[in-house]
Amino acid sequence: MSLLAIIGEALRALRLNRLRTGLTMLGMIIGVAAVVLMLAIGQGAQTMVNQAISSMGSNLLIVVPGATSSGALRSGSGAVQTLTMSDAQAIASLPSVKATAPLITGTAQLNYGANNWSTVVTGVTPDYFEVREWAAESGALFTEADVRSATRIAMLGQLTAKNLFGDEDPTGKMVRIKNSPFLIAGVLAVKGQSLDGRDQDDAVFIPITTGQRQIFGNQFPGTIRFLMAQAESAEMMEEAEAEMNQLLRQRHRVAEGMENDFTVRNMAALTAVATGAAKVMSIMLGAIASVSLLVGGIGIMNIMLVSVTERTREIGIRMAIGANRRAILMQFLLEALVICILGGLAGIAIGIGGAWAVSEAVGMVVVITFGTVVLAFAFASGVGIFFGFYPARKAAALKPVEALRYE
């Protein structure tokens, strides 16, 4: 009997029991839809984490001031600003470090015309934009000369620009930061969310010197909030970390056996943790969804076993008129497979629809890849073959004479 003829027989048999076929298929549909949806959500989360990581810049190390103790007085990390501009310059000259970006930050009110917006003001050097791999979308980045002469010039993040200027082009306009007029040099490209969930486009950047002298004021001139350093390459991250530690201990005159008054954070390690967590979540969601697929598969096996028993006489007749064991096996196996494939296709469609609904309703990022669809389909077919095989083999193993006698 040709495969096509057997498929025809399988479809005919399934059509005869529409309700039963539909209910069995429903188990499959729910299972496959759950797998597709969960994988979409998991991969969406992974994509979001990856975006946040790549928006950070590559091969980043961050140096923050650490805990200090002077006599009996102990201060927590960051309470005392132990890092200086010259620390940043010294680190920049290390062979394993490509560039450094010292930062000072504060919050300030921005005014343009009748609009005002309170946001984070960050004092940086032009190297910051290089380290963060952050380009100007319009206008141009401020320069080293602006830093040297502490010019009142600013780069706006996308969200800040939009809130102050609406559809206007801010480049060349004047904006007031803490009532001091600043020239807008340009608007930065969209950066998106950071790993800690902050919108990085809600920001304004000014030369670090301008910030120190005119905006924030500082009891210790030349100190910085923290600094970012970019290693020459991914392989040199560890080396850069070690060299920076050594250099800063030397510069800060930390005695042998004393704790550092700064901390060097290797962002590669952090991103590894974040991607790892996202991956685990993705796998867990998939695994939970697979359970429903398994339950659907057991449902199919159950129904197929009932069907084989019910149709014992039919099997006997078919054997008497010349069906061999393979034809009987294929007939029942294909019935299970057809349920799974049709259910799988419907499940994929529903899963994609559900993912779309979730992204619309909750604003979650969902990602459906071709791989997900192929995996779900393969999983469905696999379940069909696995759970359909036993009942089919049972049917094929019947003795013709006994099957014919069955009432």
* CA–CA dist 134, 189 (Å, integer): 7
Which one, of 335, 315, 310, 334, lies nearest residue 325 by Cα? 315
Options 325, 360, 362, 369; binder of other proteins; rule CB under 8 A: 325
CA pair distance 65, 226, nearest whole angstrom = 7
Q: How far is the CB of 305 from other proteins (least distance, A)?
A: 20
Binding mask 261-300 for other proteins (x = CB under 8 A): ----------------------------------------
Q: Give the number of other Cβ atoms within 10 Å of residue 137's Cβ.
A: 14
Q: Least distance (Å) from other proteins to the CB of residue 4?
A: 8
Residue whose CB is less far from other proteins, 21 or 292: 21
Distance, CA of 193 to CA of 52 (rounded, Å): 6
**Residue that the structure tokens 């030397």 belong to:** 250
Beta bridge partners of 180: 177
Using the structure block, give the residue that is written with the tokens 């909030």. 225
For other proteins, the binding residues in 301-320 under the rule CB under 8 A are: 313-314, 316-320
Give the count of residues interacting with other proteins (CB under 8 A): 25
**Closer to other proteins by Cβ: residue 198 or 405:** 405
* Secondary structure class of 196 (helix, strand, coil): coil
Q: Regarding beta strands 153-156 and 180-188, do their DSSP bridges make them parallel or antiparallel, or are they unpaired?
A: parallel
Q: Residue 74 interacts with other proteins (CB under 8 A)?
A: no
The verdict on 358 binding other proteins (CB under 8 A) reads no
19 interacts with other proteins by CB under 8 A: no
Contact between 198 and other proteins by CB under 8 A: the answer reads no
Residues 361-400 that bind other proteins (CB under 8 A): 399-400
Contact 130, 100 (CB under 8 A): no
x/- string (CB under 8 A) for other proteins, residues 126-165?
A: ----------------------------------------
Give the C-alpha separation, 58 to 226, whole Å: 18
Out of 324, 353, 360, 369, the only residue in the binding site for other proteins (CB under 8 A) is 324
Using CB under 8 A as the binding rule, whether residue 183 contacts other proteins is answered as: no
Min. distance of Cβ 328 from other proteins in angstroms? 9
Q: Quick one: three-class SS letters along 294-356? A: HHHHHHHHHHHHHHHHHCHHHHHHHHHCCCCHHHHHHHHHHHHHHHHHHHHHHHHHHHHHHHH
**Rounded CA separation 164/109 (Å):** 11
Binding span for other proteins by CB under 8 A among 48-56, 145-153, 231-239, 323-331: 323-331
Question: Whole-number minimum distance, CB 398 to other proteins, in Å?
Answer: 11
Burial of 374 (0-12, 13-18, 19+ CB in 10 A): exposed
Taking the complex as a whole, the smallest distance from the CB of residue 20 to other proteins amounts, in Å, to 14
Interface residue with other proteins among 74, 148, 198, 326 (CB under 8 A) is 326
- In the complex, minimum distance from the CB of residue 372 to other proteins, in angstroms, rounded to a whole number: 38
Kindly tell me which of 319 and 342 has the beta carbon lying closer to other proteins: 319
Nearer to other proteins, 234 or 397 (CB): 397
Q: Please, what sign has the CA dihedral across residues 73, 76, 79, 85?
A: positive
Least distance in Å: CB of 317 to other proteins?
5
Integer Cα distance of 12 and 78 in angstroms: 75
- In order of 70, 71, 157, 214, 318, the CA distances from 75 in angstroms are 9, 11, 34, 27, 88
Cβ 9 to other proteins, closest distance in Å? 8
Q: Binding to other proteins by residue 16, rule CB under 8 A?
A: yes
Binding residues for other proteins (CB under 8 A): 1-2, 4-5, 8, 12, 16, 313-314, 316-327, 399-401, 404
